[in-house]
C-alpha cells in the first residue's frame, strides 16, 4: 500500500469507494464556499485563514482541538434572518450554542432567544437578554425553572403537558402574575434532514397532538386559568430540514387549529410560532434554502391560510438555531496518526486520528451526521484519498467525518478543519475518557477572543471528591 503515499497519484481502484454523493475533487485544496463561514479563505501560502488570522496562528495560541467562530459570519446570518423575516420575531435557539457573549450578540442583532433549561436561561440573562425577549421551552421544566422564568419576566413559556399547565398556573398565582404561555402542538409532520415521516399518531415526547384533540384540550386549559395569558400555538417539526414542504403542512394545520379556537374562545390568539430546524450545509450534498426563500414560502402559506379561514395573520415567530450559528464555526484538530486500513476485497481506507472526537462532537456517533473536512495548515499537491477522520476515544463509532477525500500526504502534526461545527457540537460535548472539553474562540479582523476557555484536568478533578461522606 505504499503507493497510497505517492504524491499526485490517485489509485481509485484500490481506494474504498465512498458514498455515491462524494465526488473525487479536482483540487483537494479547494474550499466549497457553501460549507465555510464568510471570511474563511486559503492564503497564498496554502494556510486556511478566518477573520484574517491563519489557523496555524490560532492553533499555536489556543492549542487544539479548538472551535473557531467567525464573528462577521454570525452577525451576517443573524441579521440575514431578522431582515428576511422582517415583521416576524426571530428567536435564536440557544441550545445550539449559547454563551454570555453570544447572547449579547443575539440581542444586538435583533434576535430574541429561546432557552430550554434554567441553565440556558441563566446564561441568556447574564448575557444581557431582557426577560421579555426570552422564550422558555422544555418538556419537563422544574418548578425552580418555571419560577426563575416568571421572576425574570420571560416573554413566553411554551407549555408541553397538562401537569405543566397546572404547575405554571400555581406558580403564577403565588406571584400574582399572569404567565404568558404558548401551547406546543404536534401536527403529524415530523421532519429530519431529507426524510419526512407523516404519522397519524405522534409517538414522541414533545407537544400535544392536534389529531387526538389534546392540543385543543390544552388550549382550553390555558384559556380557563386566570393566571395564564394564552398567547398562541407553537409548532416545531424537527431539525436539519431542507424543503419548505414540511413547514407548509404544519403551518396549514396550526392555522386551522388557530381559527377553530378563535371561534370557540371568541378571540384570535395574538401570536403563533413555527419553530426552527432550517438545514445547513455540512457536505456538498446539502443545499439549504436562503432565509429569503424560507421567509417568502412561510409568509405565503400563513397569509393564504389566514385569508381562507377569515382570521388575521397573528404575530409570527420562528426559532432558528443551527442555521444561525452552525456555519459560523470550524472545529480545528491536529492529526496524531494516519493508518491505511485494508478492507474486504483489498481496497484501503485512510484513517486519520485527530486529538478530539466524540467528546467534542457526538453528532456523527449519535445520529450518523455527516461532515466535511479539509487540510488546514498547508495546501497539498498530493492526490486525494478516501479518508475517515476519527477521534481519540475508546469507541469504534468515534467518527468525526465518515467519508472525505483528503490529500494522500496528510501526516501527524497536520491541522484538519471541519466546517459547520457551531451548533450542537461544543453544546453537546462530554468528558468521555476524561478528556477536557475544547475552548471556543471568536475571531474578527485579526483579533481573537475566548468565549469559553479550555477545560483542564483540574476542572474535572475538582468534581472528584474521592470518597466524601454525604451529609
Q: Is 371 part of any known ligand binding site?
A: no
The residue from 133, 227, 253, 322 that contacts ligand PLP (CB under 6 A) is 322
- Give catalytic residues, as residue numbers: 394
Distance CA 385, CA 12 (A): 8
Minimum gap (Å) between residue 116 Cβ and ligand PLP: 7
239 makes contact with ligand PLP (CB under 6 A): yes
Which span (170-178, 319-327, 340-348, 439-447) binds ligand PLP, by CB under 6 A? Answer: 319-327
Residue from 42, 77, 133, 137 in contact with ligand PLP (CB under 6 A): 137
CB of 322 to ligand PLP, least distance (A): 4
Burial 228-238 (b: 16+ CB within 10 A, else e): bbbbbbbbbbb
Map the footprint of ligand PLP across residues 40-99, applying CB under 6 A: 93, 95-96
String of contacts with ligand PLP for each residue 417-436, x by CB under 6 A = ------x-------------
Q: Nearest distance from residue 409's CB to ligand PLP, in Å?
A: 37
Helices (H), 274-403: 291-309, 322-325, 363-367
Residue 135 contacts ligand PLP per CB under 6 A: no
363 labelled as ligand-binding?
A: yes
Pick one of 65, 207, 232, 275: the residue that binds ligand PLP (CB under 6 A): 275
3-state SS assignment for residue 133: helix
Q: Rounded to an integer, what distance in angstroms lies between the CA atom of residue 400 and that of residue 408? A: 19
Total residues in contact with ligand PLP, by rule CB under 6 A: 16
Q: How far is CA 296 from CA 88, 247, 291, in A?
A: 12, 12, 8
Choose the binding region for ligand PLP from 13-21, 316-324, 346-354, 380-388 (rule: CB under 6 A).
Answer: 316-324
**Quick one: which of 70, 120, 248, 319 contacts ligand PLP (CB under 6 A)?**
319
Contacts of 410 (CB under 8 A, 6+ apart): 335, 338, 350, 352, 375, 380, 382, 387, 416
Whose Cβ is closer to ligand PLP: residue 90's or residue 257's?
Answer: 90
What contacts 325, CB < 8 A, 6 or more positions away?
A: 69, 74, 77, 92, 96, 97, 102, 422, 423
In 3D space, the residue among 325, 186, 183, 307 whose CA is nearest the CA of residue 246 turns out to be 186
Residue 278 touches ligand PLP, criterion: CB under 6 A: yes
Sign of CA dihedral 277, 278, 279, 280: negative
Contact window for ligand PLP (CB under 6 A) among 56-64, 99-107, 314-322, 441-449? 314-322
Q: Which cell is 184 given? A: 406546543
Phi, psi (rounded to 5 degrees) for 339: -135, 135
Is residue 213 a known part of a binding site? no
Phi and psi at 282, nearest 5°, equal: -100, -30
- Does 323 participate in binding ligand PLP (rule CB under 6 A)? yes
Count Cβ neighbours within 10 Å for each residue of 140-162 and write b for 16 or more, e otherwise: ebeeebbbbbbebebbbbbbbbe
Q: Which residues define the annotated binding site? A: 277, 319-322, 363, 367, 395, 424
Q: Residues annotated in the binding site for substrate, as ranges?
A: 322, 363, 367, 395, 424
Residues forming contacts to ligand PLP in the complex (CB under 6 A) are 93, 95-96, 137, 236, 239, 275-278, 319-323, 423
Amino acid at each position: 500500500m505504499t503507493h497510497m503515499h505517492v504524491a499526485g497519484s490517485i489509485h481509485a481502484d484500490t481506494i474504498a469507494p465512498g458514498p455515491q454523493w462524494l465526488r473525487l475533487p479536482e483540487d483537494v485544496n479547494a474550499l466549497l464556499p457553501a460549507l465555510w463561514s464568510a471570511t474563511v479563505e486559503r492564503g497564498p501560502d496554502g494556510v486556511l485563514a478566518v477573520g484574517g488570522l491563519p489557523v496555524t496562528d490560532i492553533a499555536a495560541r489556543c492549542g487544539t482541538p479548538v472551535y473557531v467562530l467567525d464573528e462577521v459570519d454570525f452577525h451576517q446570518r443573524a441579521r440575514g434572518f431578522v431582515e428576511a423575516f422582517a415583521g416576524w420575531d426571530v428567536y435564536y435557539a440557544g441550545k445550539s450554542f449559547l454563551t454570555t457573549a453570544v447572547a449579547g450578540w443575539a440581542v444586538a442583532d435583533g434576535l430574541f432567544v429561546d432557552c430550554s433549561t434554567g441553565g440556558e436561561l441563566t446564561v441568556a440573562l447574564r448575557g444581557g437578554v431582557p426577560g421579555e425577549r426570552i422564550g422558555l421551552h422544555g418538556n419537563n421544566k422544574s418548578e425552580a425553572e418555571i419560577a426563575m422564568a416568571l421572576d425574570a419576566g420571560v416573554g413566553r413559556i411554551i407549555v408541553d403537558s397538562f401537569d405543566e399547565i397546572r404547575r405554571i398556573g400555581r406558580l403564577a398565582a403565588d406571584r400574582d402574575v399572569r404567565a404568558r404561555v404558548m401551547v406546543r402542538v404536534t401536527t403529524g409532520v415530523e421532519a429530519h434532514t431529507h426524510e419526512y415521516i407523516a404519522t397519524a399518531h405522534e409517538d414522541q415526547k414533545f407537544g400535544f397532538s392536534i389529531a387526538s384533540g389534546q392540543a385543543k384540550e390544552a388550549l382550553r386549559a390555558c384559556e380557563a386559568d386566570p393566571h395564564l395569558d394564552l398567547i398562541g400555538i407553537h409548532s416545531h417539526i424537527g431539525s436539519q430540514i431542507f424543503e419548505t414542504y414540511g413547514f407548509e403542512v404544519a403551518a396549514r394545520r396550526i392555522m386551522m387549529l388557530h381559527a377553530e379556537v378563535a371561534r370557540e374562545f371568541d378571540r384570535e390568539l395574538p401570536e403563533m410560532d413555527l419553530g426552527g430546524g432550517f438545514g445547513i450545509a455540512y457536505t456538498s450534498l446539502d443545499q439549504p434554502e436562503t432565509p429569503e426563500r424560507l421567509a417568502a414560502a412561510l409568509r405565503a402559506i400563513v397569509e393564504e391560510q389566514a385569508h381562507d379561514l377569515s382570521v388575521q395573520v397573528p404575530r409570527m415567530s420562528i426559532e432558528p438555531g443551527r442555521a444561525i450559528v452552525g456555519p459560523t464555526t470550524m472545529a480545528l484538530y491536529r492529526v496524531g496518526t494516519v493508518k491505511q486500513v485494508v478492507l474486504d476485497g483489498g481496497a484501503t481506507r485512510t484513517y486519520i486520528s485527530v486529538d478530539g472526537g466524540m467528546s467534542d462532537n457526538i453528532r456523527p456517533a449519535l445520529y450518523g451526521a455527516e461532515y466535511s473536512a479539509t487540510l488546514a495548515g498547508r495546501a497539498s499537491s498530493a492526490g486525494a484519498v478516501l479518508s475517515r477522520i476519527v477521534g481519540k476515544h475508546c469507541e469504534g463509532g468515534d467518527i468525526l467525518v465518515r467519508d472525505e477525500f483528503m490529500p494522500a500526504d496528510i501526516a501527524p502534526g497536520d491541522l484538519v478543519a471541519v466546517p459547520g461545527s457551531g451548533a450542537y457540537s461544543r453544546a453537546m460535548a462530554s468528558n468521555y475518557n476524561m478528556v477536557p472539553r475544547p475552548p471556543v474562540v471568536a475571531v474578527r479582523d485579526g483579533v481573537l477572543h475566548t468565549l469559553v476557555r479550555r477545560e483542564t484536568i483540574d476542572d474535572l478533578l475538582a468534581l472528584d471528591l474521592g470518597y466524601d461522606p454525604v451529609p
